[in-house]
Amino acid sequence: MPDQPAHDPFTTTPDGRLSRRRLLAASAGAAAAIGAVGLPVLGTAAPALGAAKGSDPDAGSSGLRAAPLIPPTNRGIILYSVRDRISAAPDDSGVPYGFERVLARLAEIGYKEIEFAGFNQSTEILGRQITPAEIRKILDDNGLVANGCHTSINATSFQQQLDIAETLGMKNIGTGSAPTNSAYKADWDAAADVWNELGRQAKARGMRLYTHNHDAEYSFLLDAGPRDSSGRQTRSSGIRRLEYFFGQTDPRYVFFELDIYWAYVARFKHTKFINANGVEKTSLFDPILNVADRTKRFPLFHAKDGDRRTDLANGYEMTPLGDGDINFQQFFQTIGERHFHHANWEMDTAPGGTENRGQSLDFAAKSYENMADLSIYLQK
């Protein structure tokens, strides 16, 4: 794969925190990078903060209107971020626990969509395990919609998983695991055959099947050069694993949830490969262009933030949304189709343990506020 245009996806400020000025600082660069490869740029970024509202005598004369970059109905959370409170037994901390209390709190914060990471809670709450039908009632009572789940995707249990998803009203069903962990085309071909068939089954039930990435899925295939003792090639043509899978799966049946954090980790980690002739080559991965080239295959995203830390193996340390260096303004503005895309906040390290039982829900509130602050200006 040829080198892609390198635009800087990072913005930094002395305090490392989110501001509209910080989020929008790279928008011009994003527009230039996307325009350079012939992709459309969505709208106009909101102007940087400078004067108080109403202080501009020309305000209202521009023909522009402010619009949320992520529509309110498309703002979600994967419950893995608050798994400590979903699974918690009743306690006297005053912090919500179990599905009923935690989902009510998330709705109060402003979230409209829920991505599930399992369907169990402490049996101490009801004296038994909660049922999918009971979870659905909690969703409905709080004005929440299930937009997906991370579950096990295999032919043996898939219809059972579809039954649960249907009860919860999901339009998407997925997994947090890769279709295969292999570096070889043959294994990705076999996975594509399975996923195409399961995707057909999901579509027949009114759902989309999706897979979620970590960084390894954007490492390079071993598909060129000399073979090892098992007959497998040991070098690369420069094709990335998941990008090969895009082409092997039917876009009518197989979809994707980009974890934005792990995509930028991949950009940091997976930059070099050895070609068929034994020569080291560099190929920069661009998360924005990865989506923009096939934006309708990505109905869901994990809006996960991270501090840029080149001293760490992954290049980042997870943070609440807005406390890190990933430019979500640039990302969501330039991929387009903002009403199609659904953003689920995630932070793997959000739980605070017994020392701070309320931390994950506090981070959820902060992250929602910063997600809601993302905006663009459009023509009236």
pLDDT of residue 146 exceeding 50, the answer is yes
Answer whether residue 29 shows pLDDT above 70. no
Pull the structure tokens for residue 345: 């906040």
The candidate with the shortest Cα–Cα distance to 173, out of 299, 82, 86, is: 299
Tell me the pLDDT band of 12, cut-offs 50, 70 and 90. Answer: very low
Measure the CA–CA gap between 217 and 187, rounded to whole angstroms: 13
Q: Is residue 355 part of a domain?
A: yes
In this structure, is residue 266 part of a structural domain? yes
Q: What is the pLDDT of residues 290-338, one digit of tens each?
A: 999 999 999 999 999 999 999 999 999 999 999 999 999 999 999 999 9
Q: Are 96 and 105 in contact (CB under 8 A)?
A: yes
Distance CA 285, CA 301 (A): 18
Dist CA 118 CA 151 (whole Å) = 7
Those residues whose C-beta lies under 8 Å from the C-beta of residue 159, and which sit 6 or more positions away, are 201
Query: Distance between CA 293 and CA 319 in Å, rounded?
Result: 28
What integer pLDDT is reported at residue 52 of this predicted model?
A: 39
Per-residue confidence (pLDDT) for residue 61, from 0 to 100: 63
Distance CA 367, CA 370 (A): 5
Domain annotation covers residue 42: no
Structure tokens at 208: 């989309």
48-52, 170-174, 292-296, 310-314: segment of lowest average pLDDT: 48-52
The whole-model pTM stands at 0.86
Please determine, for residue 89, whether its predicted confidence score (pLDDT) is greater than 90.
yes
Kindly report which listed range (1-10, 56-65, 114-123) carries the lowest average pLDDT score: 1-10
Whether the predicted pLDDT of 17 surpasses 60: no
pLDDT at 1 over 80: no
Range in 34-48, 78-92, 223-237, 252-266 with the lowest mean pLDDT: 34-48
pLDDT tops 60 at residue 197: yes
Q: What pLDDT score does 377 carry?
A: 84
> Looking at the domain assignment, is residue 13 inside a domain?
no
User: Residue 21 to residues 12, 13, 26, 111, 283: CA-CA distances in angstroms?
Assistant: 11, 10, 9, 24, 31
pLDDT of residue 60: 57
- The string of DSSP letters for 330-349 reads HHHHHH--TTT-EEEE--TT
**Alpha-carbon dihedral sign for residues 310, 312, 313, 317:** negative
Instruction: Please tell me the predicted confidence (pLDDT) of residue 27.
Output: 39
pLDDT (0 to 100) of residue 37: 46
Domain count, the chain: 1
- What's the pLDDT tens digit per position in 198-219? 999 999 999 999 999 999 999 9
Give the integer Cα–Cα distance in Å for 195 and 193.
6
In this prediction, residue 63 has a pLDDT band, given cuts at 50, 70 and 90, of: confident
Q: Could you tell me if 346 and 80 are in contact, meaning their C-beta atoms sit under 8 angstroms apart?
A: yes
Q: Does 45 map to a domain? A: no
- Residue 46, domain member (yes or no): no
The predicted-structure confidence for 368-380, as pLDDT tens digits, reads as follows 999 999 998 888 7
Judge whether 79 lies within some domain. Answer: yes
Run of H or E including 286: none
Report yes or no on 4 lying in a domain: no
Per-residue model confidence (pLDDT) at position 66 = 87
pLDDT tier at 11, thresholds 50, 70, 90: very low
Provide the domain limits for residue 128: 20-36+62-379
Closest CA to 282 of 217, 246, 236, 328: 236
The CATH number assigned to the domain holding 117 equals: 3.20.20.150
Contact in structure between 225 and 235 (CB atoms under 8 Å): yes
